[in-house]
Amino acid sequence: MMMTKRGLFRIAAVVLMSVLPHIAGAQWASTPNAPYNKPVNSLAKNSLGWIYAASDEVYVSTDDGFSWLRAGLYGEKINAVGVDNLNNIVYAGSYGTDKGIFKSTDYGVTWTPSGQTTGNFWAIATDPGGNTYACGAEGVYKTTDNGISWTGQLGPSTTGEEFLSLGISSEGYVYMGSFSTGSNLSGIYLTYDGGIAWYYSDSPNIIPQTVWSILPDPVTSSVIWAGTQSNGVYKSTDYGVTWEAPAAAFGTVYGLAYSGGVYYIGCGPSASPTSNRSNAVYATTNPTANTWALSRLSGKAIWSITATSSSRAVAGTSGSGAFFSDDVNTSGLTNAWTQSPFSGQIAWSVLDQNGDGQNLFAGGSQLHRTTNGGGVWTADPFFLPLFTQVFRLAQSASGIIYAGTLDEGICASDNSGGSWTQRTLDPGYGIYSITTDNAGNAFAASLYLYKSGNGGQSWTLSLNDPAVWDVAAGSDGTLYASTIYNGIWKSIDGGQNWTNAPLNEFTRTLAIDNTNAVIYAGTYDNGVYKSLDGGLSWLPTPLTGRSIESLVVDNSGNVYAGTLSGVFKSANFGQSWTAFDNGLDFGAIVTKSLYYNRTGAQAGRLYAGTSGSGLLYFDNVSGNGGGTGENTLINSAKLGGGIGVGVGSNGYIVQTVNSGRDWKTLVSGTDKTLNDVAIFTTPSASLQQRGQQTGGLTTGEIFKQRFGSYRKDAQRAAARKAKGTTQSEPAQSPLGTSGFGSAVAVGVGGTILRSTDNGNTWASVSGGSADLMGVAGVSLSAAGKGNAAESVQGFGSAVAVGVGGTILRSTDDGQSWSTVSSSGSTLNSVASAAAPAVVRKGYGVSGTQGFGSAVAVGVGGTILRSTDGGASWQSISTAAAGATNLQKVISDGSATNFTAVGTDGLVIRSVDGGLTWNALSAVADDSPYAPLKFTLKQNYPNPFNPNTLISYQLPTNSEVQLKIFDVLGREVQTLVSERKAAGNHTVSFNGARLASGIYFYRLTARSSGTPSGSRANSGQSDFVQTKKMLLIK
């Protein structure tokens, strides 16, 4: 019988307060049902101090709970998280979907199902030896091989048991709390031998308590604490054999934690209406004495709690996100709690589309939208990539909405947010600001300032200052740009030319009072400045010594400043400031963005995007003092004659017919991510004998002839286009072989798409439900029976591999698929080698003897090999791979050679069809052929610790600079500053002396042979590109 925490206590659904009437003098009001109001059911820490939270999906905080990012598994109803620090694995257990346990081996960047693909789970924990336990509605499970396989340890009884909590001591003793409708089964189970034998504690004090949380004491190993339903915390001093009843009752204790000498209790509701110890966090330095002090985090049901090494406590609530506290005094009282920015709580930007208070967009950890004034918020699922935040929103006079993201460039919508497309600007940095001028031009600040005059379809460099932070446009078209190092820039000709008005401050935000000709500049740590002469000079205002996050001016000339400690208002052009925070609670202390409605039904409304309480608004401030999203290309395959197909996220399929010079987007019919594509180029039908329908040509000659004709057709079409003629193209003749041009694309949810016309159109084929990661075409030996390839059995065979060891096989060009395997380690990639050809005299095409091997690779160093077209597979064990996750395998086109790559820079190679493997050094390609263009590649590995490789390509001899910067734009290190020859180059970067975090590397290259008078000789460079990397220690 599956339960919920609310269901166990029959807690009534939380009724959110309605928005207060919009009357004069109204205070700040929170938009109801904001997207951050979510339960936090479970918290877990890793060895880096990162905190993972289960809240229907997984969130991660890298700064002790101050801020959070979505880490994936959206829609999977994640109820439990656990961390195996020994093997660097994060586990996430679902509840209510029967999907079992997921795992991540890269800190939550990507997730795959573990070997436990069914079940509903309450808790996950790992013992000191790296063995992980998970408990839930169906029993207790254990894995000893990093989640690849799980064994049942203890099943539920016939009385409806559920196992709710886990605690593991430093000795490896496992304690488990349970609930049961039976009178004698609720309580504590324990094992001292890794689950070989489990014991039920029959101590009368603990029977029949429902145990929601367990904490083995970090100080005294024999002491165990157990949090129960409405009866407080029980204590055992003999490793869980006997238990002492608590001296004082609490509400249901969902969480127990310890750090820095302080014990924490997280309480939910109490069954007793007279109990005063419920819905709050309590803390003490002496739990034995039962002297628990009430913290200021009260009035909220606490569902989970953890504590960091810095003595910060982080608490998850039943529907208000997460909170943290640093203020712990000697009595254990936590005095100051802050609601942490969770999910949509970081509102970096706000847009009221029509000024009516109904159609709102909020940019934070992703893009959220409401069409009914905040009654219901929805998250756009296409803004879900990890570490992607929507920083800025802007709307042009023509209605184009721009969204600037952290690392996905600019997305825009031409239809009021009904759909979104990624625009071409993706400079590698976050988009820190977007604005539009009265001429319809868009300007985007991303360290440099860029301009678009065509709705974001193309962008040009407008201001070559490498540290632009904000841009604002006046009603007369004048532009102002704030920077980190060079003060304020001004342009009066639409961004063509700029003049500088030095302001010796890091200016973060700008606002223009067009009526009174006042420009305001908010600084990083020194308050607000103003200019009365069009930016020629700047004066400080009395609002000093503060970090200004946002500025806005209303229709009456009042100016508002959002700071790290609330909102301030000036009604006299910055001469004096007063706090403007009536109704702001302690969770709204960081105001990230301000937005003012100048027109519309709600003209005069001021919105504040916060880091603690989501989106707030204040009415009449003057009188009161699902889209399509961006697409990411994941994999591609080439046919011959210049034809190729690429697939990616959101069902993205693109096709080229001229070797990649041009690409067009095709209709796939799915919004599922496509992970791989394969194209079959050999005919599967029998060919006639030489001299009959083939005209005396071999198959190879036929292919050559047809593709040559195709290329000529393409050249003629290009010539006609250049002349402006409109003559229609002649129809292309197929080869008349059913297998030619067949392509298969595979992806998540068992998605299989098939094309029989070189990728022009696609149809869905049934492929089961497991996520498919790779696909390859394979072939069998032919039977020569008078015809060149008559009755070629198995030709057109294809193999698809995926999560949970899934292997599917098709023998009819991908029209139908059968399951070869559905268990085992997740397989990430598959490749097949060419079969050696044997020419038989008198026939156009020979049969093939000695089938070229197929190889599949996956997690944990898994390598499988097939020699019968994928019908059966042999596991290959090799020390070269070890337990490293193998991500991709390729064949070089021969019958024997395979190369596979994995995490941590591993490269292994086989020259005998996949039987044996040897590790290679992961070195750069030193090809003697000069590249065709400048290229800066993504560093590898990424994330890294502490070493990584950065590669770049130069088409000509060039003057090169390669530099490292931190997130504030400060130069960290110069890796290269010299003349380099054309070719491929790789340099190593060591981040041992740097703190964990995001860094940027920028390549600047100027061709040595650039003509005099060119851009290069005027201080510009032929090539400048920046990319992001993540250092994790």
Q: Which has more pLDDT, 798 or 300? A: 798
Instruction: Return the CATH number of 633-686+734-920, one of 3.30.70.1560, 2.130.10.10, 3.40.50.2300, 2.40.37.10.
Output: 2.130.10.10
| Percent residues over pLDDT 90 in the chain | 14
Q: What phi and psi values does residue 343 have, to the nearest 5 degrees?
A: 50, -120
CATH 2.60.40.2550 for domain 935-1031: yes
User: Range(s) for CATH 2.120.10.30 in the chain?
Assistant: 344-590
- Give the pLDDT confidence score for residue 324 in this predicted structure: 57
When mean pLDDT is compared across 490-499, 678-687, 808-817, the lowest value belongs to 678-687
When mean pLDDT is compared across 42-46, 284-288, 581-585, 1011-1015, the lowest value belongs to 1011-1015
Q: In angstroms, rounded to a whole number, what is the distance separating the alpha carbons of residues 668 and 761?
A: 7
Q: Report which of 461, 835, 806 is spatially closest to residue 682, judged by C-alpha positions.
A: 835
Q: Average pLDDT in the 902-917 region?
A: 82
Q: Which has more pLDDT, 599 or 933? A: 933
Q: In angstroms, rounded to a whole number, what is the distance separating the alpha carbons of residues 469 and 447?
A: 6
Highest mean pLDDT of the ranges 53-62, 154-163, 807-816: 807-816
Token pair, residue 831, equals 């490749």
- Give the pLDDT confidence score for residue 323 in this predicted structure: 61
Q: Which has more pLDDT, 921 or 493? A: 493
254 contacts 5 by C-beta, under 8 angstroms? yes
- Bond before 246 cis per omega within 30 degrees: no
Q: What is the DSSP string of 883-944?
A: TPPEEEEEE-SSSS-EEEEEGGG-EEEESSTTSS-EEE-------SSPPSS-EEPPPBSSSB
Regarding beta strands 112-113 and 898-902, do their DSSP bridges make them parallel or antiparallel, or are they unpaired?
unpaired
Backbone region of residue 534 per phi and psi (left: phi > 0; alpha: psi in -120 to 50; beta: other values): left
- Give the pLDDT confidence score for residue 316 in this predicted structure: 64
- Give the pLDDT confidence score for residue 849 in this predicted structure: 33
Residue 715 in 3-state DSSP? helix
- Give the pLDDT confidence score for residue 301 in this predicted structure: 64
Q: In angstroms, rounded to a whole number, what is the distance separating the alpha carbons of residues 496 and 248?
A: 73
pLDDT at 327 exceeding the cut of 80: no
Backbone region of residue 311 per phi and psi (left: phi > 0; alpha: psi in -120 to 50; beta: other values): left
Token pair, residue 157, equals 């009884």
User: Range(s) for CATH 2.60.40.2550 in the chain?
Assistant: 935-1031
For residue 1016, what is the DSSP state? G
Angle, CA of 124, 90 and 52, to the nearest 5°: 85
Q: Where does the pLDDT of residue 181 fall: very low under 50, low under 70, confident under 90, or very high at 90 and above?
A: low
Average pLDDT, the chain: 72
Q: Which has more pLDDT, 575 or 259? A: 575
Find how far residue 687's CA is from the centre of its chain. 50
Q: Report which of 248, 241, 240, 243 is spatially closest to residue 265, judged by C-alpha positions.
A: 248
pLDDT at 580 exceeding the cut of 80: no
For residue 663, CA distances in Å to 420, 615, 656 come to: 20, 41, 5
User: Range(s) for CATH 2.130.10.10 in the chain?
Assistant: 633-686+734-920
pLDDT at 91 exceeding the cut of 60: yes
Q: Which residues of 939-962 are buried (b: 16+ CB within 10 A; e: fewer)?
A: bbbbbbeeebbbbbbbbbebbbbb
Q: Where does the pLDDT of residue 609 fall: very low under 50, low under 70, confident under 90, or very high at 90 and above?
A: low
Residue 650 in 3-state DSSP? helix
Find how far residue 54's CA is from the centre of its chain. 16
CATH of span 344-590: 2.120.10.30
Q: In angstroms, rounded to a whole number, what is the distance separating the alpha carbons of residues 162 and 158?
A: 11
pLDDT at 317 exceeding the cut of 70: no
For residue 36, CA distances in Å to 30, 350, 633 come to: 12, 15, 31
- Give the pLDDT confidence score for residue 273 in this predicted structure: 47
Q: Average pLDDT in the 451-470 region?
A: 87
Token pair, residue 875, equals 């596991």
Q: In angstroms, rounded to a whole number, what is the distance separating the alpha carbons of residues 1025 and 1016?
A: 15
pLDDT at 102 exceeding the cut of 90: yes
pLDDT at 309 exceeding the cut of 80: no
pLDDT at 398 exceeding the cut of 50: yes
Q: Where does the pLDDT of residue 390 fall: very low under 50, low under 70, confident under 90, or very high at 90 and above?
A: confident
pLDDT, tens only, 944-969: 888 888 888 888 888 999 999 887 77
State the number of CA atoms in the 13 A half-sphere of 401 facing the CB. 27
When mean pLDDT is compared across 195-204, 648-657, 710-719, 725-734, the lowest value belongs to 725-734
Q: Average pLDDT in the 469-477 region?
A: 89
Q: Please enumerate in sequence order all residues whose Cβ is within 8 A of that of 813, keeping only pairs 6 or more positions apart, or say none.
A: 680, 684, 738, 739, 742, 754, 756, 796, 798
- Give the pLDDT confidence score for residue 507 in this predicted structure: 87
Residue 1006 CB neighbours (<10 A): 22
Regarding beta strands 442-452 and 401-405, do their DSSP bridges make them parallel or antiparallel, or are they unpaired?
unpaired
- Strands (E) in 437-585, as ranges, are 442-452, 460-473, 479-483, 488-491, 499-501, 507-513, 518-523, 528-531, 539-540, 548-553, 559-563, 566-570, 578-579
Q: What is the DSSP string of 212-236?
A: EEEEE-SS-TT-EEEEESSS-EEEE
Biggest CA-to-CA distance, the chain? 100
Q: In angstroms, rounded to a whole number, what is the distance separating the alpha carbons of residues 921 and 908?
A: 9
Q: Report which of 609, 652, 569, 179 is spatially closest to residue 390, judged by C-alpha positions.
A: 609
Strand-pair partners of 422: 411
Highest mean pLDDT of the ranges 299-308, 548-557, 638-647: 548-557
